[in-house]
Structure 1
Amino acid sequence: MDKISGLPDAVLVKILSFLPTKVAVSSSILAKRWEFLWMLLPRLEFTSQMVTTKPGLGDFINKNMPLHRAPFIESLHLLLELSRRDSKPEDIKRWIEITVSRNVRELDIFYGSENENIFPSSLFTCKSLEVLKLKWATLMDIPSRACLPSLKILQLESVKFVDEQLLQKLLSICPVLEDLSVHCYKDHNMEEFTIIVPSLLSLSLFIPDDWLFDGYVIDTPSLNYLKLEDCNHLNHNSLIQNMPKLREAYVDVRYFLLKSVIESITSLEHLNLCVCKRDSSNLLGQYLLKDSPKLRVLDISIVGDHGMDERNGMVCWNQPSPVPECLLSSLQIFNWSRYFGRPQDRDIAVYILKNARHLKKATILADRSEHFVPNVQMIKELALSPRASIKCQVVFVEDLKWFV
C-alpha cells in the first residue's frame, strides 16, 4: 500500500476512475493520502444505493459536491429512487449547476418527480454538454435565450412536459443534435407533439398503447436510421415526412398509420420487418417492396415477445405485380429468422428468390417449435425453387435456440 500511495495523484486518480464511485469514495479510509483523491475523479455516479445509512445520499452530495476539485467534470450520473429519496429539488438543481460550471460533457439524471423543477437555467446554456439523458423527470420551462451548441445525443424516457410545445422547443435549441430517443410518457400533458430537427441522424420513438393524444409530426431531412414503435391502438394522426437520406428502419405501427410511414422511406436500404401480424404479408408485397427502390438488405423475422396468436395468423401472400424495382436492381441480402415453412412463408421466400436478380445470399433459419412443416420439406421447397440470380447462395439452418 505504501508503494501505491507514493504514486503521483494523476496515476492514483486514473486507478480510481476504473472503479464505481461508491468504491472510489470508500478508498478515502485507507490512509490520509487517499482521503480526498476521489474528489479529483472526472466521472461521478451517485445512486440511492450508494449510501444506506443516515445521513443519506442527499446530505453526502451536499457536503462533498462543492469540494470536488477536478478541473472539469466529464460526466455525472444521478439515480435517485423515489422510495429512497432524501434530497430536495433545490439540492439537485444546485448539483447540476456545479457540474455545468465545470464544463460537464454528459449528464444522466433519473429523478421521479411530479411537477418539480430540478433543472437550473444554466443547464440550457451549457456550451460543453454533448450527452443528456433524462428519465422520469419533469420539464417545466426552457429559458428564452437557451442554446445547447454541442449537444449530440438526447435521450428522454418517461419525461413529463408540462407544456406540449416544450419538446420541440428543447429540440430547437440543439443545432447539432444527431441522436434522439423519446420514450413517451402516457400521463403527460401533450395532446400532440412535433419533432423537427434538421441535423438528426438517428431517431427512436416509442408511443405507449393507451395514451390519449391527437398525433405527431416528424420532419428530419438528414435522418439515416428510424426506429418507430407506435403501439397506440387509438386513432391518431402521424405525419412523417422529409426523410430523403433514410437508410435503415425498424417500424412497428398500427395499420392505419402505414401510409404515412411508407411514403417517407423511399430511400431505405435496410428493412427489418416483423411478420407476426395478419396484414404483414400484404404490407411487404403491396407497399414496402414497391416503395423501397434502393433496398439492399431485407430481414424478415418475428420479434420474440410478440403474441403467438398474431404470428400464427398471417394471411396468404398476394404477390406484387409488376415486380418491385428493388428486386430487379438492388436487393443483395435476404434473411429470414424463425421461418415456419407455412404456405404464406414459402410463397414469400420463393417469390423473392425467383425475382431478385442481384441477390447474393439468402439465409433461412428454420423454426420448427410450432411443428408447422417438417424440416426436410422446408429445405426441398426452397432448394428446388427457381432463382433469378445465378450467384445466389441459399443457406438453410435449423434454429435450435427456439427449442430450449
Structure 2
Amino acid sequence: MSCEDRISALHDDLLLKILSEIPTKDVVTTMVLSKRWGLVWTMVPKLEYKDTRKEGDKSVWCLLDKSLQLHKATVLESLHIQVERQFCDDADVGKCVSCAVDHKVRELALILPSQPKILQLPSNVYTSKTLVKLTLSCRTLVVDVPSLPCLPSLLTLVLLNVVYKDQNSHVRLLSNCPALRHLEVQRNKSDNVTRFIVKVPSLKSFTYMQIDERAARSFVLDSPGLRCLTLGDPYGDLDSIQNMPHLEWATVCHFLPYPNDNKFLRSFSSVRILWLTLTEVACCSAIKFPQLMKFTLHLHCLDDLDCSLEPLLFFLHNSPVLKVLMINYAVAIRFQDLPISWNKPSSVPVCLLSHLEIFVWTEFGGKRQEREFVAYILANSKCLKTVRTSPSYYLKEKEKEKKMEEFKSMYRVSASSQLLLCTKQDMWI
C-alpha cells in the first residue's frame, strides 16, 4: 500500500480551512511534516490556544508570540486564548494582544484566571478599526479606557468579571462603539463601579448579571433599540431602566419587592415573551402588556411576605393576547404554611376567554388559595389545549399522589385540553 501524501496536494485555501478548525498548538506542529506545510500554517487566519492544565510552563505565550511574529495572513480572523492556571510573571499578555491588533484581528477572546498581578490591555485595543467581537474574562484585568477610544467596527462586547479603572471607564468604552449590537456584562464583588450605565442607541441584545448584595450599587439602562434583554440583578436598584419601545424578549431575576411602585417593568410593556423571577408580582399588576404572548413566572417567597396571587389576575387582564402561562410556585420549606391571598375577580380576563392555549403550574402544593387560583384558570380558559403540572418538591410521595388527583379532578371548560402530570424537569416547554 502506498503512503502517498494526498493532503499536501490540496489547494492552499482548503488546507487553510482545515488548519483553521484545529488548535494552534497542533497547527504549528504541521510545519515539520514538509516544506509545503511549513509555509501554509503561517497563513492560518484563526489562532486558538486552550490550556486547561493546572500546572505547566509558559509555552502558551512563547507559542503565541512566535505564531504572531511569523503570521502572514492579510487579516487575522480570530485570536482565542483560554488558560485555566496562573502563568509566569514574565508572560507578556499585552505583547501578544497588541501584536494581534496590529495584524488586524477581527475577533479577540481573552479568558484567564485571576493573576497575582494586575493585567492591562495595550492601548491599541481601544482604537482598533477591525475588531468585530471582543471577549474579556479575568478578575484581575483592569479596563483602562483612554480618553479617546474608538472601535467603529465592534458589534459584540463581552465583559466577564473584569474590573474598571474608574467609574467612567465603561461609559467611555460603550459611548465610542457606534456599531455595537450585542453586549454581555457579568460583575462580581471586585468590581468597583457603583453606578453601571449603559446608553447605547445601536444595542439590540443585552445580558447583565450581577449577584452582589451591596445596596450601594445601581444600574442605568437607556438603549431604545433593544430587542432582547437578560437581566439577573437580584438585589440591585432597577428603577432607572427606561426607553425600550422595541423590546420583544426579556428575562428578569429580581428579589427586592416593589409594593407601592410600578416603575419596575414599566419599560417592558412591548415584550412578546417575558420570564420573571420575583418574590411578589404586585410590581407588574398595573402595567399593560398588549403584545405579550408567553409569560413565565418563577415566584419565590423568601421571607414572611404575603405571596398574594391576586396581582396575577390584574396582570392577565392587562395581557389580552397571552397564549402561554407558566408558573413555578416555589415556597421555602420553612414557609410552607404561608397564607396566599385570593379573591375571585368580578370579570374574566380576555386572554382566558380567547387566547390562552398552554397553562403550566409547577410545585403545586394544594393550598386552598392555590387550588382556587388554578381552578379559576382551568374553568375560564376556553381555548386551552395543554395543561401541565408537577407536585411540590416538599411533599411526601403519598401526598404528591393525592395533590395530583386533586388537580386532575378540577373542572376544565375546554374539554379537549390535554392534562399532563410531569416531573419538574419535564415541565418547561
Report the TM-score when normalising by structure 2. Answer: 0.77
Three-state SS of the structure 2 residue aligned to 1:354 is helix
Q: CA deviation at 1:251?
A: 1.7
Displacement after TM superposition at 1:371 (Å) = 3.2
- Work out whether 1:354 is the aligned partner of 2:379: yes
SS at match of 2:267: coil
- Mapping for residues 165-176 of structure 1, pairs under 5 Å: 165-176=168-179
Which of 267, 288, 301 matches 1:277? 301
What are the within-5 Å matches in structure 2 for residues 131-170 of structure 1? Answer: 131-136=133-138, 137-144=141-148, 146-170=149-173
Per the alignment, residue 27 of structure 2 pairs with: 24
**Stretch deviating more after TM superposition (56-65 or 209-218):** 209-218
In structure 1, how many angstroms separate the alpha carbons of the residues matched to 2:205 and 2:219?
Answer: 17
Output the CA distance in 2 between the equivalents of 1:60 and 1:295: 56
Question: Which of 64, 77, 93 pairs up with 2:80?
Answer: 77
CA contact (8 A) 1:285 1:319 kept: no
1:220 match = 223
Aligned residue pairs total: 392
Q: Distance in 2 between matches of 1:214 and 1:222?
A: 25
C-alpha distance in 1 between matches for 2:353 and 2:182:
34
Query: Kindly tell me: are residues 288 and 400 of structure 1, through their superposed partners in 2, closer, same or farther at Cα, counting changes over 3 Å?
Result: closer
Equivalent residue for 2:233, pick from 230, 235, 252: 230
The residue aligned with 2:59 is 56
Q: 1:285 and 1:7 mapped to 2: Cα distance?
A: 65
- Structure 1 position 43 matched with structure 2 position 80: no
Indicate the larger mover: 329-338 or 176-185.
329-338
Q: What residue in structure 1 maps to residue 285 of structure 2?
A: none
Tell me the CA shift for residue 202 of structure 1. 1.9
User: What is aligned with 2:203?
Assistant: 200
User: In structure 2, what is the equivalent of residue 395 of structure 1?
Assistant: 419
Distance 1:51 1:65 in 2: 25
1:182 aligned residue = 185
What residue is the counterpart of 2:99 in the other structure?
98
- 8 Å CA contact retained: 2:310, 2:342: no
Return closer, same or farther for 1:153/1:261 CA change in 2, 3 Å cut-off. Answer: farther
SS at match of 2:327: strand
Partners of 2:386 and 2:328 lie apart in 1 by 16
- Residues 220 and 242 in structure 1, CA contact (< 8 A), matched pair in contact too: yes
Instruction: Say whether residues 1:118 and 2:144 are aligned partners.
Output: no
For the residues of structure 2 that align with 1:160 and 1:242, how far apart are their CA atoms?
27
Q: Which residue in the other structure is 1:301 paired with?
A: 328
Q: 1:220-243 deviations in whole A, cap 9, x for unaligned? A: 2222222222233xx756422122
Task: Determine the C-alpha separation between the residues in 2 that align with 1:335 and 1:299.
Answer: 4
Q: Is 1:370 aligned with 2:408? A: no
Report sequence identity in percent.
30
Deviation at 1:365, TM superposition (A): 4.7
Contact 2:44 / 2:73 at 8 angstroms: preserved in 1?
yes
Measured at CA, do residues 353 and 176 of structure 1 come closer, stay the same or move farther in structure 2, by a change above 3 Å? farther
- CA spacing shift, 1:184–1:33, aligned 2, 3 Å: same
8 Å CA contact 2:107–2:134 kept in 1: the answer is: yes
Q: Which blocks of at least 5 consecutive residues in structure 2 are unaligned?
A: 274-294
